[in-house]
Amino acid sequence: MLTKKRGYAAGDGRAGTPARRAGKKLMAAGRTLAAAESCTGGLAAQLITAVPGSSAYFLGGIVAYSGTAKNRLLGVKTATIAKHGSVSAQCAREMALGARNILKSDYSFSITGVAGPGGGTRHKPVGLVYFCLAAGKKAIGYKRMFSGGRGRVRTLAANFILERLAKVIE
């Protein structure tokens, strides 16, 4: 599924996409990237790998949908999930750091949220997504609320983190 946004079709790997911009910067800097995804189910990794030559900088991605998978695959502490939940800034941070440590990348990102249509609560409504970008000793968290259906929330979330990534790459 392609979604038109800002003059490009998300998912096509063309020059104007956030994935292409981030990839060019990673390539120029000689840096590598790892991904940890939950609610996007690997969509951000799909956008990255749609760009020809992405194997030069993209080491891989881990899709960890359940709390158990986040713990076992990414090292998210069970105490973090118990106290803050799988959809939280704390979980997003541990996911990003886990992906970076496991895949030994320079940069990593994570996405965790409620894509809908169900699963939302008063405190964590459908459309709420937490992100984290990790590089070196820095871990930058983001929280966004997206509107629309499940597909739109997932597409916007994947492109949001790739846009942020392109802005922070040195």
pLDDT tens-digit series, residues 104-115: 999 999 999 999
- Biggest CA-to-CA distance, the chain: 44
- Altogether, the residues listed in the chain come to a count of 170
Give the pLDDT band of residue 9 (cuts 50, 70, 90).
Answer: very low
Considering the four listed CATH numbers 3.20.20.70, 3.30.70.1290, 3.90.950.20, 3.40.47.10, the one that applies to the domain covering 16-148+155-168 is: 3.90.950.20
Q: Is the dihedral of CA 116, 122, 127, 129 positive or negative?
A: negative
**For the segment 59-100, what is each residue's pLDDT rounded down to a tens digit?**
999 999 999 999 999 999 999 999 999 999 999 999 999 999
**Measured CA angle at 97 (ends 146, 106), to 5 deg:** 100
Are 135 and 32 contacting, i.e. CB atoms less than 8 angstroms apart? Answer: no
pLDDT of 150 strictly over 60? yes
Are 22 and 169 contacting, i.e. CB atoms less than 8 angstroms apart? Answer: yes
